[in-house]
Chain A
Amino acid sequence: MAAGDVPLGDSPGFWRQAWRRFRQRKLAMIALAFVAALTLVAICAPLIAGTRPIVCQYKGRIYFPALYYYNRNWENPIFAKDRFRSRYAENLKKDPQSWAAWPLVYQDPYRRVRAEEWPGQPGNPYGAEGKPSRHNWLGTNQQGFDVFASMVHGAQTAVSVGFVSMGIAATIGITLGALAGYYGRWVDVLLSRIIEVVMCVPSLVLILALVALLDRVTNFHLMAIVGLTHWTGIARLTRAEFMKLKQMEFVAAAKAMGARPGRIMFTHVLRNALAPVLVPITFGIADAILIESGLSYLGFGASPPNPSWGTLLAAGRRNIEDMWWLIVFPGAAIFLTVLAYNLIGEGLQEATDPRLRQDAH
């Protein structure tokens, strides 16, 4: 480098610039931190509240009974064989050498903790007696299930419903939108009509029909339906972006270099079209959470016992006169989460769309 030359750093790319602009928005950042924390809580729910050890040694081997909360089949059969019957604290004593690391709070989202289950902890109160207390931070519901445990495990439902359903919607929407926008002509006509048809399908009615048909409704069913019916907005936006971008020089250059359509679409065009598409996905996550909560509130959610914020809220509605904690805590959780996703979406929109940038003026 010659003396006096100004060193040239890498010019910031689009995403780095977008992130920089996003970071400048305080509310959006707080919302992002909230969602990150919520996601962490959701992932670590069995570590925070549960009645099964996170890890334990029993008869000389190490086990992870808390995996039960992710999938009941992941609980090692030795505990069923030794007739533990969901009471680990008491039954681990069968092996004097055993030890266990327990969740932060000994409470369960699927049942009432009984007296004598955990040293020094009384049985959960129920009904109007279940006010927030030292042992039940956010109170208990009518049946004595701990609200804090239900909220923590309900976060799993909220986060997974949001991400998975929008993951499905984004995959379908982006793929079909890309095909329609890139190829145009009859492909566009055909896919556009399909989009219009799907837009006419009322997802709520579909979900209600599914709930009536299935013996055991899980959150995955709800996620699938929401995902399969909420991709149309994403597809239309992707299509429009692709129609615009396919005229650009870099696409022509890629074609001239012999790149195949798939590579052009998903390597060159998509990365340029992705920013505006992220915005409806973010709003869609908020929508999906609201749909799941709404369905659980109406009693059409996953089969009981279903630790969902909507289920808690429904119990609160039935006992509105004397169990305020069933309204306040899940209501606040739903409100804040939906608000956070909307703020993130808005922040993303402003950070990625040059027309909305305040610093562009």
Chain B
Amino acid sequence: MQAQQRFGLFPVLVAACLLAGMAAGCSSESAPPKQASVKPSQPFELGNLVEPFDAPPMDELDKLQWVDGPLIDSLEQLRSEKAEQGPPKTTVAEALELRNDFPRSRAANDKILDAMSQLAPADGSGVDYDHTFVRHVAGDLNSTNPLFMSSITDAELSALSGLYLIGFNRRFEYFADKDVVKSWQRSTDNLVERFVLRDDLTWSDGAPVTAEDVEFTYRLIMSDHPELVIPSLQQGPDQLRYVKAYDDHTVVMWHKEPFATRTGNMNWPIIPKHIYEKSIYEDPSMKRSAHHRKYEQQPVTAGPYELVSRVRNQEFVVRRREAWRLHDGQEVRRQPYFQEVRVKVIEDLNTAILALKAGDIQEMELRPEHWESLTDGEDFYRHNTKVMAPEWTEFHVIWNLKSPYFSDKRVRWAMTCAFDYDELLNTICRGLYEPSVGTFDPTAWMFPKNGPQPVKRDLDKAEDLLDEAGWTDSDGDGTRDKEINGQLVPLEFQLMTYTTETGIQVATLWKESLEQIGVAVNVKPTEFAVMQDKTLKHEFDATFAGWGTGTDPDQQENIFGTGFQRNYGQYSNPEVDKLFQQGRRELDQAQRAEIYGKIHLLLWEDQPYTWLFRRNAFYGFNKKIRGYNFSPKGPFDFGPGISAFYGAFQ
């Protein structure tokens, strides 16, 4: 059993945790996404984006050359890896006595992580199966329907209750989930995939999970109707040529091309056909009708947990499904470790810290100021411990290249040279974060061998670059200016940022830094939803933002590819576009690394962003919680992720 994962890269907040268009980076299409072409009044047509395809009969398929794809129980895989590493050097009791003094020393952190990451024994001894894991999220659930996932909170629910054929481990290696799939075969030309589902899977209403559900979900995702708004899942399935159920348990998928990203394109949540196959025609929005509202409240799911209650802006609760473990009275899967997972929404992180200290929540992501001063006392360590682990999340400022200020590369480099990185890293980030040197993490396989070094602040160079670019203080008012189309334009721009304390602090530091070279910055704290809207419409000069990692560097095309949806700064470099296409067609990992390394260097050279810092994962956990391991996407978002967590008897 494993929790399911999303695989796209996603925007991250400094304090709140929302995301949008999570999988938007997964496009393998070389052109930007298309707009809806059907009028709202037109009847709904299921799968109208799927191109006509004459699926061959099964006996024809049998003639293809097939190789088996990896079929894995990710928890067992992780258990094997742990066993290879040998027993932990620190006991849990010793680890829980330690005070984590990172960044002064890593020793305590490593010991805590070493002990607390140990998995529960395979026989489940020591696991408190009655435990309720109380988690923290900073934003409310938008929808219980996994097709409408648009925030990290939505994805948390989908991870606990959803059903996926494909998952990935902490090294982002894809596999078919052994709890769901009986066999997975891939044709030797890498164009056809054949899955046989297990016959002991049921939906929470008792109906069996079938291959028809997989085909139906694919066709639903690939449906174009203005009322049906699927925020993030189309990119990926849109690279499949066709999906067909051959019998109750066999489903075959055809790729358009044998891309390197082909496995990730099959990673999407499955929804029950019998619930939606008729109602979708009556209400294509899947949100308005009484039928759809009913299933929004009580979704039919097939994962290890099912939703049992939801109080808007407060919490949602999922409970372990007996039908996941037992089928016809036989134990067919491992029992999930928690009886319930209660996910509490606490927007104010300082309130969340108090709740963690009081034991009201059992995990939360910590910010620098929390790590440094609010979690170092007895009041925190009474119930909790804290750990740090590497994560591929970076923060940056996006320059809008179509604004009059930032179209010139020299201006962007001037901004980069003028910023006070020491003050950022030491004061605002409390020495916990590291400087970012581009879009890929320096520890990632796609980071170039001769990667860039962190920028040192150089105000003279910054001023010289602005002078070269024609931005001088011609009117003596203290702000640089330039004549553009006959008008004197001052170099005064708006810097949009989150309303979080760290966001405002970073933006304020930008203001201070740039003022020293005669550039005026107006800091504009903006609500996350408004900020998303403005960035999507390119209505900004510069904005502070962050990206978590996707599972594949190809997903960055959505951010830096010409005309793509999340290319907020409207960056365009034909060479980068070409390299992205090359990268997805190249199947050799070493060659791919070289291609993405080139992209990294080109982006660094062009500076469409000023990369600021890399944020690792900092978490506080209740002492009762064990089994946490980390991937570059954090402790939850991979296989086994949350499925490895357990509550221990104390």
Interface set of A (CB-CB < 8 Å, partner B): 72-73, 75, 77, 80-81, 83, 85-86, 110-112, 114, 126-128, 142-144, 212, 215-216, 299, 303-305, 315, 317-322
Contact = CB atoms under 8 A, between A and B. Distances in A.
Which of A80, A114, A144 has the most chain B CB within a 10 Å cutoff? A80
B369 A127 contact: yes
B108 interface: no
A140 B350 CA distance: 19
Contacts of A320: 350
Which interface class (under 10, 10 to 19, 20 to 34, 35 or more) fits B?
35 or more
B428 interface: yes
B217 to A, nearest CB: 39
A85 B460 CA distance: 10
A318 B507 CA distance: 18
Contacts of B313: none
Given A77-B478, A110-B512, A318-B501, 20 more contacts: A72-B515, A73-B477, A75-B478, A80-B518, A85-B516, A112-B423, A127-B430, A128-B372, A142-B369, A142-B505, A143-B505, A215-B524, A299-B499, A303-B522, A303-B523, A304-B504, A304-B523, A315-B501, A320-B350, A322-B374
Contact of A112 (B427, B499, B515, B524): B427
A158 B372 CA distance: 33
17 contacts: A72-B515, A85-B517, A86-B516, A112-B427, A127-B372, A128-B372, A143-B427, A143-B508, A144-B427, A215-B494, A303-B522, A304-B504, A304-B523, A305-B523, A317-B350, A318-B501, A322-B373
B459 A85 contact: yes
B135 interface: no
A319 B350 CA distance: 8
A305 B374 CA distance: 25
Contacts of B509: 143
A229 B102 CA distance: 53
B476 interface: yes
B258 interface: no
Given A83-B463, A304-B525, A77 B427 contact: no
B332 to A, nearest CB: 49
B473 interface: yes
A205 B370 CA distance: 33
Interface string B458-487: 011001000000000100111100000000
A75 B522 CA distance: 18
A142 B522 contact: no
Contacts of B624: none
Interface in B560-600: none
B511 interface: yes
Contacts of B477: 73, 77
Closest 3 CB pairs of A and B: A85-B516, A216-B522, A77-B476
A11 B524 CA distance: 59
Interface of B: 350, 369, 372-374, 423, 427-428, 430, 459-460, 463, 473, 476-479, 494, 499, 501, 504-505, 507-509, 511-512, 515-518, 520, 522-525, 530
A143 B525 CA distance: 17
Contact of A72 (B428, B473, B478, B523): B478
A83 B459 contact: yes
Contact of A83 (B427, B460, B479, B515): B460
A154 to B, nearest CB: 16
A104 to B, nearest CB: 22
Given A128-B373, A143-B428, A305 B508 contact: yes
Contact of B369 (A83, A303, A319): A319
A72 B512 CA distance: 13
A124 to B, nearest CB: 9
A320 B369 CA distance: 13
Contacts of B501: 142, 315, 318
A177 B473 CA distance: 49
Contacts of B473: 77, 80-81
Nearest to B354: A321
Given A80-B473, A127-B430, A304 B508 contact: yes
B397 to A, nearest CB: 16
A203 B479 CA distance: 34
A212 B533 CA distance: 13
Nearest to B518: A80
B374 A321 contact: yes
A52 to B, nearest CB: 12
Contacts of A315: 501
A270 B427 CA distance: 57
Contact of A216 (B427, B494, B508, B530): B494
A34 B378 CA distance: 43
Contacts of B508: 143, 304-305
A126 B511 contact: no
Nearest to A317: B350
A349 B507 CA distance: 47
Nearest to B376: A128
B490 to A, nearest CB: 11
A127 B427 CA distance: 8
Which of B372, B423, B478, B518 has the most chain A CB within a 10 Å cutoff? B478
Nearest to A87: B516
Contacts of A112: 423, 427
Contacts of A317: 350
B433 to A, nearest CB: 15
Nearest to B428: A143
Contacts of B512: 86, 110-111, 305
Contacts of B530: 212
B515 A86 contact: yes
A322 B379 CA distance: 13
Contact of B525 (A110, A126, A299): A299
A112 B516 CA distance: 14
A316 to B, nearest CB: 11
A144 B512 CA distance: 13
Nearest to B477: A73
Contacts of B515: 72, 86
Contacts of A304: 504, 507-508, 511, 523, 525
Which of B499, B507, B516 has the most chain A CB within a 10 Å cutoff? B516
B373 to A, nearest CB: 4
B504 to A, nearest CB: 5
B379 to A, nearest CB: 9
B363 to A, nearest CB: 20
A111 B525 CA distance: 18
A288 B507 CA distance: 28
Nearest to A323: B373
A126 B509 CA distance: 14
A215 B522 contact: yes
Nearest to A77: B476
A215 B522 CA distance: 7
A305 B511 CA distance: 9
Contacts of A73: 477-479
Which of A111, A144, A318 has the most chain B CB within a 10 Å cutoff? A111
A50 to B, nearest CB: 15
A79 to B, nearest CB: 8
Contacts of B374: 321-322
Contacts of A299: 499, 525
Nearest to B504: A304
Contacts of A111: 512
